[in-house]
Amino acid sequence: MKIHNPIAFTPTPVTVITSLVYIALLAALLVVHTVVPSAPKSSTPISGVNLTEAWLDLRILTEAYRPYNSRQNDHIRDWLLRRIETIIAENNAAPPTTSDPSSDLASTSSADSPAVVFSDITSNLTFSSEREKPGAGISIYFEGTNIIVYIRGSEDEKGEWWTKKSIPQGKGGVLVNAHYDSVSTGYGATDDGVGVISILQLIKHFTSTGKQPKKGIVALLNNGEEDFLNGARAFTQHPMSQFAHTFLNLEGAGAGGRAALFRSTDTEVTKAYQTVRYPFGDCASGDAFSRGVIRSETDYVIFNGLLGLRGLDVAFTEPRARYHTDEDDTKHTSVDSLWHMLSAALATVQALTSDTSSQFDGEPSGRGKVPSGKGTTGVWFSFFGEKFAVFRLHTLFALSVTLLVVAPLVLIVLAIILTRVDKNYLFSSSKHHHHPEGDDTVPLKGLRGIARYPLIFVSATAAVIALAFMLESLNPYIVYSSPYAVWSMMLSAWLFVAWAVTRSADWLRPTALHRAYALLWMFAAGWVVLIVITVFEQKTKIAGDYFMIFYFAAIAVATSISFFELFGLQNKSQYADDFATHDFSTAVDSRPRSASSSRILDPEPDETLEDAPERPAGNEGEEDADETTSLLRKGRQSTFARRTSPHSHRENQDPVKKKRNRVYGFEQDWSWSLPSWTWLLQFLIVAPIPVILVGQVGLLFMSGIHQTLGDGNDVLPVYLGAAVFSILILAPLGPFLHRYTFHIPTFLFLIFAGTLIYNVIAFPFSGNNRLKLYFMQNVDLDTGISRVSLTGVGDPYMSETIASLPSSAGQEPSCVPSILRKGLTECSWNGLAPAVVKSPHPDIPPLYNYADWLTYHVFRAPNSTEARIRLWGRNTRACKIQFNRPISDFHVDGAGDDKRFKRVSEDGSKEIRLWSRTWEKEWTVHVKWEIGEDGARGMDGRVVCLWSDDNETGTIPALDEVRHFAPEWVAIAKLGDGLVEGSKAFLV
């Protein structure tokens, strides 16, 4: 019994090995991406950390909505202060000290207390928003209620240095931040409850005996992140904001899973994340945030942009459908997710506080910023959630340039050497043979298949690109709930089309150089792409395309192996001699034997009738098909492996004839000595590492943006992105597909057919992947008109949702493009009256008390362009003033003044937002404006107050109605700062 070579370049080994490798790689990638590492069984896995306690704290924190403008927010703030004091007291760190920054920041603690707690109820800030486009901006006045805990480092300056006006001495500490407010429509378990609880455990750990850090830690629990990053901005007014040089921001841009490192300021600070046990993240996500692919921001931009700190953004990034909804709760997260963020934060902070070098010291990057120096742009990515790589972008640029130069030179040198030793069969159509009787031209057919791979690649790529456009047209939101169905369709379509075209071309014109030419084409295309990437690395500092450098390097090595393979062939002159010496014209079909016309089963010229196998008529008596049998034609092999036909094993057979029997099928005769195992080496070089790197980025890409369609993002880029990543994942199979059996492609065709049908006809949303609709209710307190609005992706989903609401019966909703949410549609109708302000008597409907909800007075001297506006609202601490034309300046009584921040943008402001830490506060606002183009000196607009507290049923009946009657595939999120906005007009 003959033992077949298990790694020969024949259909069965190629199909089995490549399929198993791909299945293993893709399965591992999916597991890493979707499964969170288990938390330790012990409740105290690390000294000073208690997981059971942390989980219980998270449940308390998330028992109700806690937006800044809610009573629950105050309750949670008091609870956090008590928890911090209890933690410090239990650790005997010092008598817990709550230091109010008023009264010159005095503290009653000892001069060297290990921990100091600041309950900041004095910081306030006036600033103007930065607009992407020219035009009037928005101005904000905000009063902070942050909680700040300073954990003294062993190398920190002694005493109460924060009472001084100068910059703290030493190498700077580490800021770790989370916000304790939530949106008004979500419980905030991961946005940002897990971050808050992680900080409580960090305080517990670093105040434990023997755990004092070398560099001090500032643990910031800020309030007001959800409304304009207001809490972090208020922190800039506290002395502690000048102490830290590095930071770690803990956030939630999704609602569970793994906590990913998705943004970093530089290489040096990112290295602190290398100590994390289960790292997860990719620098490509930072590029996506910086270019607005994901429409949300975090406190990272304040700490880095305004304070000049260098640091990291770690956040939950999926599923985004639960982000800012009532499913961001403890039921939809886990202890595993809590531990993943907590352990990552602990390891990162430990690394940052232990670094006493001067790499985070240097000149400040701007006025009012800390002297943290300047880092280098970094490239970083996790590898299977176990390892973490980080290096400078400059290193990647150098590698790119090196590859651009060296890789082609290596191939050119190899080609020259092959030519000199007369073994370069590439691009060789024939060889001149000289003999006494004259000169002959011996066909080499080395050009066969030279243009095949572009046809294969273009055909398969066109198929998946066409599918992207088809889904955008027929069922654009299916990827929202079924990203893996889209992935499956794209991957199966590309591979099946590529295989079908490859096998058809190989049947028509078989060639032993298919692998070499395919890799050469991939090399050429990759080289061009690498030029573009290198330019972008230098010009735009984009690091997220790093995987293409490794991809190209793998292709270059695999291509060079194809050149080295040719050294195993006999030289072309020797082949021509053998070709001329042996008579190939005695074959059964009387045709001269060539690589394209000979058949392994034909009898040899010197076979006797007894030796020759019987040739029955038709197909009778043909041998059963095996891995050497052509898929499309009986009796033809389909590889150039070193194999011998069953009837040719004879000891007295001519050596040349033995060589001919080792030629695969109808491929060129000279290919008999090509190694049969090098294909496996090429595959293992060109496939695993590129597939892992591309697959990781592809999964992060899809999970990060496939549900941002509900935020108004364009649909087509999502599908085109899936198509591009599918192509990059499967392209390494291209050089080997001509050896594939039909089994896997046929199976994939069935997958393609099934997923295609599903993707076209399935409903795109579900109870587990709900479509977010954004709620707001506007009440005209002058007229009593109450309009409820939902903003979302539009019909048919919007109309179906509104039609399910009893209050909308008999009304025709007014639908217009949304101003607040670009790309979405806002539909409004007359809704149920809100009860955010209690009536003096339970029998009096709320609408009869609208006038009392908001009170204002406007004072303006005759012919002046200045006014003083006094306003206050009942049961609220957030109001705003809207102007019909821009104001040039304003000032709020009692506000501080920070020259780093402009109160009004260069084009003026058309809105002033006012946030108070006390309820029903009266604001006095002084405003100035320019004379209008028509000479008008007056000003008009609206005074508005906001209500965001929906913790009691019946407070906002319209919202209760939507939650109760909307389809199960609808989730409700807030549209603006307030769930209810009541307004009155003014004219001065």
CA atoms within 13 A on the CB side of 145: 20
| H or E segment to which residue 179 belongs | strand 173-179
Residues 6+ apart with CB under 8 A from 203: 84, 87, 88, 115, 149, 151, 219
Angle, helices 678-686/688-705, rounded to nearest 10 degrees: 30
Among the listed residues 374, 238, 367, the one whose alpha carbon sits nearest the alpha carbon of residue 901: 367
What are residue 652's phi and psi, to 5 degrees?
-95, 10
Q: How many other C-beta atoms lie within 10 A of the C-beta of residue 804?
A: 15
132 by DSSP, 3-state: which? coil
In DSSP notation, 854-885 reads EEEEEE--TT-SEEEEEEEETT-SEEEEEEEE
Q: Which residue matches tokens 């199966």? A: 492
Contacts of 13 (CB under 8 A, 6+ apart): 5, 6, 7, 627, 680
Contacts of 256 (CB under 8 A, 6+ apart): 190, 316, 318, 319, 322, 332, 333, 334, 337
User: Residue 571 class from Cβ within 10 Å (0-12 exposed, 13-18 middle, 19+ buried)?
Assistant: middle
Our answer to whether residue 53 is catalytic in this structure is no
Q: Which ranges of 91-155 does DSSP label H, i.e. alpha helix?
A: 102-105
Give dist(CA 68, CA 648) in Å, integer: 86
Contact between 932 and 819 under an 8 Å Cβ cutoff? The reply is no
Q: What are the C-alpha distances in Å from 648 to residues 630, 654, 910?
A: 19, 10, 91
Q: Where are the alpha helices (DSSP H) in 598-742?
A: 655-661, 678-686, 688-705, 716-730
At residue 112, the 3 state secondary structure works out as coil
* H or E element, residue 457: helix 452-474
Tell me how long the chain is: 988
- What is the three-class DSSP state of 79? helix
Three-state SS sequence of 729-790: HHHHHHHHHHHCCCHHHHHHHHHHHHHHHHHHHCCCCCCCCCEEEEEEEEEECCCCCEEEEE
Encoded tokens for 730: 């499967």
Residues 415-438 as b or e (16 or more Cβ within 10 Å = b): eeebeeebbbbbebeebebeeeee
**Do the beta carbons of residue 341 and residue 316 sit within 8 Å?**
yes
275 by Cβ neighbours in 10 Å (0-12 / 13-18 / 19+) ranks as middle
Pairwise CA distance, residues 171 & 192, whole Å: 29
Q: Which of 160, 182, 185, 304 is nearest to 236 (CA)?
A: 304
Per the CB < 8 A criterion, the answer to whether 866 and 890 are in contact is no
| DSSP code, position 4 | P
The rounded distance, in Å, linking the Cα atoms of 689 and 679 is 16
Give, for 945, the enclosing helix (H) or strand (E).
Answer: strand 940-947
CA 259 to chain CA centroid, nearest Å: 12
The amino acid that residue 442 corresponds to is: V
Among the listed residues 160, 225, 604, 667, the single catalytic one is: 225
**Residues with catalytic roles:** 225
